[in-house]
Structure 1
Amino acid sequence: MNKSELIDAIAAEAEISKAAAGKALDATIAAVTKTLKGGEMVTLVGFGTFYVGERSARSGRNPRTGATIKIKAAKQPKFRAGKSLKDAVQ
């Protein structure tokens, strides 16, 4: 499912216009992004938790030359599914 299909599904489920569903989805994504950028978690009970994971610095290899390179430490967004979501998928 892509973004436009998700907007269509939200509009149908909530019985609102596609424009309103698109604005709601964009606002949700912006709020989650802003919260994660601030270093906090976003927990949606029954659905899951968005959080920022930290990846430590490590060494890797350039696949073309085989030379060893240093990969910097990084922060990346992660998602942990909640129990209700896990149960619904099984």
Structure 2
Amino acid sequence: MSKPMTKTQLVAAVAEAMGADRKTATAALDAMADVVAREVAAGGTVTLPGIGKIACKERPERQVRNPATGEMVTKAADKQVKIAVAKALKDSVNA
């Protein structure tokens, strides 16, 4: 398995695809990440065409087991980010 792409590599690839400089690509990537984070934190859903859908789901309070002691503990309600991969991306990976 190959190493994951770093932010620097992603910025370089986006800059090349946009035909822009790295500063512009970094600003675009950071702005997109900020918008997605704000929208999902507010309980919304963001669809990235060709990539997938990012949403925030609430999980209720529940009983969990402490693996070290085997004791059942109540875990407070929390939120979890879910990502549903788009069919187009799945198809391109499996082609």
> Is 1:54 aligned to 2:34, yes or no?
no
Paired letter, 1:60: V
Paired letter, 1:38: A
Distance apart, 1:71 and its partner CA? 1.1
Aligned to 2:20: 16
Candidates 82, 89, 94, aligned match of 1:78: 82
Distance apart, 1:68 and its partner CA? 1.8
Q: Deviations over 1:39-62 (max 9, x none)?
A: 111112332111112222221222
Distance apart, 1:35 and its partner CA? 0.9
TM-score by length of 2: 0.83
> Is 1:65 aligned to 2:69, yes or no?
yes
Distance apart, 1:20 and its partner CA? 1.2
Q: How much is the aligned-residue C-alpha RMSD, in angstroms?
A: 1.4
Question: Matched residues in 2 for 1:78 and 1:11: separation?
Answer: 28
* Identity over aligned pairs, percent: 38
Structure 1 runs (4+) deviating above 6 angstroms are none
Candidates 46, 49, 57, aligned match of 1:42: 46
Distance apart, 1:23 and its partner CA? 0.9
> Is 1:7 aligned to 2:17, yes or no?
no
Paired letter, 1:46: G
Question: Matched residues in 1 for 2:84 and 2:41: separation?
Answer: 17
> Is 1:26 aligned to 2:30, yes or no?
yes
Question: Matched residues in 1 for 2:49 and 2:11: separation?
Answer: 22
Classify the secondary structure of the residue corresponding to 1:42: strand
